[in-house]
Structure 1
């Protein structure tokens, strides 16, 4: 049975808060916190944790522009024995067409299939001989090729990256072989419900606009992509003004710049900018729903999303705090039911889902903010699960406690620091920041913007993005007892008297 809180209990909650505050004040008056065994190592009431003491120890970010306008950014970590160096490109599936959708991902596969100087075997042997690791990925707005190597081999890694990006042979035989590999990859992804749900969420949220396309593209496109499509995509999108070389670890910036100038100076300087491409084909959010009913699926996978903020939107920071407030939970988590997120606590206590997570995805001109959850339809009540998600999401428009905000801000700042502990995470953040902001936002500035968020800010931002706003919904599994779109849309606001 789901535990609910009705309108009549608001006054009781206010009285209870007053009682708790009075009790806390009384305890403070009589308890010596320094010697208390209960409060010596922590306080059950969250307060802002200042992390400014860590900022002076963070590495300095250095940026240099090459002769052709390409940007080189690095952070040298004292004592690091390895480095991650990569090329981040402001190009992805968003900048394709309906007929060429899948080209960016196809090109990622072809990059490792031999160049004019190195065969496939030469590439593999060379990177393994230096104990390195070469990888790549494609997203809707960005493509990345990176290598993780020991410090002494950064220059060689830059040479390899420049070779695969500028001199790939793109042989017809390799294209045909890789076509089959991608088709098998698509079949594997069809068996990953989370990937399927988020692809359909984008497709329904951004109908008839570029962000609605999948990264791999439809199978018929993959079967029809030609060498000419790949060459054309490179010439249009792989230009110096849309590429960043980023490195983190024990890398020397001057050495990195010399290697980059040597190997990337022949890149064309300018092409069509992403600002022009986005302006010509902007993302258009559509309130809508897609259901993939499959009774044979053991779990129901659902995602409910509002239109979010773009990378450059000032409100993207409060949305990050709101995402942290909604939280993440899994039934196999060691924390069990005890979590700072009220939504996660409700779901765990009432056995409403197997897992849940809030998400906040940013793009150049829009975003997606919402909650993804998985539930067993045999043991979970889907209507109660949806009620809990909508209740706590729309509830941020009305009731937000400073303690919840303080806890979320502490968690967010810590997660930012944790994500950049390794050289790969730091390099990725450097590359993405340069593409999105054309600068690396200093951690001091980022933390100051997070610290400026309070309960009033959360309510104001929630009223902009959530209050009575259209939603996009994607579900997969036995959705027979899933509430319909109108039921969910009605719960984007509260009726208060």
Structure 2
């Protein structure tokens, strides 16, 4: 996911990229190995419980108390750019910028000084399906952090002067985004994969919208989407769930829980196999993404597709290991000097997703890289071995556990899962679902599927769309 962030006192765009190096741990056979396995299972079962409570207005409170001296608390809201239309596209991100620009109780300066004096961090980001506001602070300051979060989403002044100032900030941010080719390629990928639908639009919105969004648009978005049933108050670290419930009732109890009319429906987004190419021979490298339609968060095939995604893996020229890497595509890329880097991705939304590969190549190796990438996709459907699948499952488990390092990623995991699944999946259940996932799922989503393709740069040697598509229709041997 590529999310847009703005911090107190400054605006920017953060791209979260997680690179995990495979770690092979050889345990001796016999009793010691058995004891180590039992100990790992016991650790998984001893993870603090995620407690969940639903208030009368539908707002859900979810927390995990790990006894730390710090905590992260935030609001996960089921409202992102997917709920916008062509006219107000960019409103959710604009509103995120406005959240820290003053409330009826605090000016922008007061808010910034209060956060600084607490030694806390206040942040926000917008994605295609969610808007998030969160704070990281000392555990003793949890009440103040919750009160500040409640203040900025319920009492923001949305002043005209501040709106005009942020309009310029967002326009400059858009210029910065255009220099990040990975962001550009993924925006193009959504535009062609979900063309003429809400998921095909960018999170920042078009320039003409940014220039015309007004206070009325922002207020309308808040009153339409910021309802109790669509909000999760999540916390992790040194937090007491009962205290968090009391704080939620006091600060969020007046949030409306019902709609006067019908609740906004999730817009249907149809996947289209198609392509976008932007040829620029002056660029030194080509940036290419290819993806097929995958599934949403709650679909049973999500976990098997994550395993398949881990099998393809990622690689960069700076990596060590060379031909000894576990990913076959990484071995071929290293031996044949096929690309500068590649990374597989599995982007999930509520009812759809994108499963694919992003790569950065020199002009002369594009055709070979695409050929070998599609060969590996086909091998997932035909010839992947049990040992390769077992290794990918272990690596996926490791990646998930390494990601949950600290109160902030745990809090984010709680908030996202509450919106996606209406519960937080325990680690032992997640591991069990990974263990039972099968290989046959890949055939349903890769074999004989029309992909979406985007490419930017010197792409003269990129095969045409019909050639790429025919690669997905190779006869199995």
Please give the TM-score of this superposition, normalised by the length of structure 1: 0.87
CA drift of 1:266 comes to: 1.1
- Check conservation: 2:382, 2:476, Cα contact below 8 A: no
Asked whether 1:230 is paired with 2:218, we answer yes
Unaligned runs of at least 5 residues, structure 2: 1-24, 30-35
Q: 1:275 Cα shift?
A: 8.6
2:45 and 2:428 in contact (8 A); partners too: no
Shift in Å, 1:259: 1.1
Instruction: Find the aligned partners of 2:150 and 2:88 in 1 and give their Cα distance.
Output: 25
Looking at structure 2, the residues matched to 434 and 174 of structure 1 have their Cα atoms a distance apart, in angstroms, of 33
Does the Cα contact within 8 Å between 1:397 and 1:466 map onto a contact in 2?
yes
Give the equivalent residue in structure 2 for 1:201.
189
| Match in the other structure for 1:75 | 64
Match in the other structure for 1:468: 448
Cα offset for 1:82? 0.8
1:243 to 231, 241, 248: 231
Larger radius of gyration: 1
1 CA distance for matches of 2:54 and 2:26? 52
2:300 pairs, out of 302, 314, 321, with 314
Which residues of 2 match residues 182-201 of structure 1 at below 5 A? Answer: 182-201=170-189
Cα–Cα, structure 1 residues 419 and 275, in superposed 2: closer, same or farther, change >3 Å? Answer: farther
Q: Assess, with a 3 A threshold, how the Cα gap between structure 1 residues 321 and 39 changes in structure 2: closer, same or farther.
A: closer
Cross-structure match for 1:401 = 385
Tell me if structure 2 keeps the 8 A contact 1:311–1:365. Answer: yes
Q: Which residue of 417, 421, 425 maps to 1:437? A: 421
| CA pair 283-258 structure 1, distance change in 2 beyond 3 A | same
Structure 2 residue matching 1:368: 3-state secondary structure: strand
Superposition pairs of residues 47-58 of structure 1, within 5 angstroms:
51-58=40-47
Per-residue CA deviations over 1:296-326 (Å, capped at 9, x if unaligned) read 2221110000001111110001001000000
- 1:255 CA drift (Å): 1.1
Deviation at 1:271, TM superposition (A): 3.5
| Residue number among 106, 109, 123 corresponding to 2:111 in the alignment | 123
**Match 2:207 to one of 199, 211, 219:** 219
Going from structure 1 to structure 2, the CA distance change for 1:40 and 1:406 (only over 3 Å counts) comes to closer
Alignment root-mean-square deviation, CA: 2.0
5+ residue gaps, structure 1: 1-37, 43-47
User: What is the deviation of 1:276?
Assistant: 5.7
Q: State the distance in 2 between where 1:296 and 1:321 align.
A: 38
Distance in 2, matches of 1:158 and 1:308, equals: 37
Q: Once the two structures are superposed, what CA deviation does each residue of 1:35-87 show, in whole Å capped at 9, x if it has no partner?
A: xxx97669xxxxx9784232122111101112212000000113x11100000
Q: 1:277 aligns with which of 265, 280, 283?
A: 265
Q: Which residues in structure 2 correspond to 1:106-145 (within 5 Å)? A: 106-145=94-133
With 58-67 and 141-150 compared, the bigger mean Cα shift is at: 58-67
| Equivalent residue number for residue 5 of structure 1 | none
Q: Show the counterpart of 1:413.
A: 397
8 Å CA contact 2:70–2:136 kept in 1: the answer is yes
TM-score normalised by the chain length of structure 2: 0.91
Distance 1:39 1:106 in 2: 50
CA deviation string 1:313-362 (max 9, x = no partner)? 10001001000000011111233443111111111111101111100011
* Cα 1:274/1:397, change in 2 over 3 Å: farther
Post-superposition offset of 1:436: 0.8
What does the per-residue CA deviation read over 1:252-303, in whole Å, with 9 as the maximum and x for residues that have no partner? Answer: 111111111111111111339999622xx31100000100111222211100
Number of paired residues? 448
- Please show how residues 19-418 of structure 1 align to structure 2 within 5 Å: 51-78=40-67, 80-271=68-259, 277-278=265-266, 281-377=267-363, 380-418=364-402
Residue 277 of structure 1 aligns to a residue whose secondary structure is: coil
